[in-house]
Structure 1
Amino acid sequence: MWPEGYGRRVLDEVDSTNAEAVRIVPALEAPEWILGLRQSAGRGRRGRAWSMPEGNFAATLVLPVAEPPQVVALRSFVASLALYEAFVAVTGRSDGLALKWPNDVLMNGGKVAGILLESLGRHGNCDWLAIGIGVNLAAAPDVGEVEPGALRPVSLLSETGARVGPEEFLTALAAAYAREETRFRGYGFAGLREAWLQRAARLGSVITARTGRHEFVGTFETVDDAGNLVLRTASGRQAIAAADVFF
């Protein structure tokens, strides 16, 4: 069932659903989901290209926000949990699913979905957020299209045999996101943090986190109250706000 209070628009073709969010935000008064059935210029984190084979999922939620930037950024956890729930809803199973800090969803150890947050300004304020979500529903990009050392890309179809169309997945995701957004607004990050950690990939294991200047290797202890990745390293505990994580 489509959640009350959220708009929905489906485009046969678009350059990028996040770019479309920029174009439509001046006229919006409420949250709006944008689904692109074909996307010609998708982007991932740090400006990386996001491959979009036919039958895959590319959507953006344009959301009004009023919190400080550090709180707005926690929507990556809201979206991650919603994606997890949507996968369970369309497949009836949770085995093999895990959440990779800060904003990926894994299936059987491979990357099946990613999230990109971008602040949008209106009237000189950053009072809207674009939550871009890409999901490999039908096909995974070739391994040569991802950066060296990154997790192998997988698809929902290849890993589970479930054939799910983009519009069907959008309905499941929108419903799940609305529930998690209500929980986040009512109880803050504390209401989501434990649920996220219960689904976290490699919690308690040694991982590598790379920022623009540094590389940290240590045991993944937790995610703190600000959403930072906390590692126990040879030089002590490190709280990392932004990084690429490698297993």
Structure 2
Amino acid sequence: MSPSLTAASLSERLAGVGLARHIRFYAELGSTNDEAFDLARQGAPEGTVVVADRQTRGRGRMQRVWVSPPGRNLYLSLVLRPDIAPEQAPQLSIVAGVAAAEALWGLCPGVTLKWPNDVLVRGRKLCGILAEMRAAAGRLDFVILGIGVNVNLLREECPPEIAGIATSLREETGGALSRAEVAAVLLRSLETAYRIYCREGFSPLRARWLERTDMAGKPVRVVAGTDVYEGRMAGLDDAGALLLEEKTGGIRAVMAGDASLVKG
């Protein structure tokens, strides 16, 4: 049996975590990101965390469905109100990726980062991040960081379309984990990374992201809608865009798309 997730278990393990001062737990939601966005629009402060046992309309990047059965995984969204310009908001997806990878490494050594915001183990997806923001009159109002972690999902429970590309902490470690404990480890790591970001800027987190990826310096293909870009990964720019060194010798910055290593 997977350990149950409750408001009490979350409150106990998240005590003292500044980015989890206001915890809202739901047995079921359409989407934790949608709920957190609505709460932020109503004035919810930084450190508001929305957690659901089940999502009926969970989603990842590009409106892809995030499989969200009850009793298995961790689905949470966090309200942030950083004092940054709207064009800097994509940096927070990189910051969250670093925090998630460092937290999950302690539970499952061997995790890597795939641009822009996937945490993988042995090439299979363990965790995904969806960042959304609201800005007005050139000022950033808030950012919602949605994080989904496959905790106790079994391979036979995966829909056929993701069975070959997804994994979970349970599949990788051989044992069930407390989702509340995973939430605590994740949010403590995120709090540390976010404080560094607010104090020192993006550069130290970008460096840590590059240390955790296996894409650096390798041939990469990015599919962005109908456009396809290829080149050697040369790093990340100041906005978190992927830098590709193309065959011409030029550097292309790609802000969004599906990236993969070019094999062979």
Q: Same fold (TM over 0.5)?
A: yes
State the Cα distance separating 1:246 from its structure 2 match: 2.1
* Corresponding residue for residue 71 of structure 1: 88
Partner of 2:151: 137
Matched, 1:193 2:206: yes
Q: Residue in 2 aligned with 1:11?
A: 26
User: How far apart, CA to CA, are the structure 1 residues paired with 2:104 and 2:61?
Assistant: 22
- State whether structure 2 residue 32 is matched by structure 1 residue 32: no
TM-score (norm 2): 0.83
Q: Does 1:215 align with 2:239?
A: no
Paired residues of 1:37 and 1:166 also in contact (CA < 8 A)? no
Query: Is 1:184 the equivalent of 2:184?
Result: no
Q: Secondary structure at the match of 1:22?
A: helix
**Cα deviation, residue 182, structure 1:** 0.3
2-11 or 108-117, which moves further after superposition? 2-11
| TM-score, normalised by the number of residues in structure 1 | 0.89
Distance 1:29 1:5 in 2: 10
* Deviation by residue 1:61-95 (Cα, 9 ceiling, x = unmatched): 01113311221110011111111122134x2x52x
Cα drift, residue 124 of structure 1: 11
Q: Partners of 1:124 and 1:21 in 2: how far apart? A: 22
In percent, how many aligned pairs have the same letter?
A: 32
- How many residues get paired? 240
The alignment partner of 1:207 has SS state of strand
For structure 2, the 5+ residue unaligned runs are 1-12
Contact 1:142 1:153 in 2 (8 A): no
**What is the alpha-carbon distance in structure 1 between the residues aligned to residue 135 and residue 221 of structure 2?**
34
AA matched with 1:175 = R
- Cα RMSD, aligned residues only: 2.2
SS state at 2:198 partner: helix
CA deviation vs aligned residue, 1:142-190 (integer Å, no higher than 9, x gap): 34148xxxx8111111122242232111111111111000000011011
The letter of the residue matching 1:13 is E
Matched with 2:73 is 56
Counterpart Cα distance in 2 of 1:180 and 1:220? 24
1:23 to 21, 38, 63: 38
- For 1:206, the equivalent position in structure 2 comes to 219
Contact 1:45 1:116 in 2 (8 A): yes
How many Å apart are 1:29 and its aligned residue?
2.7
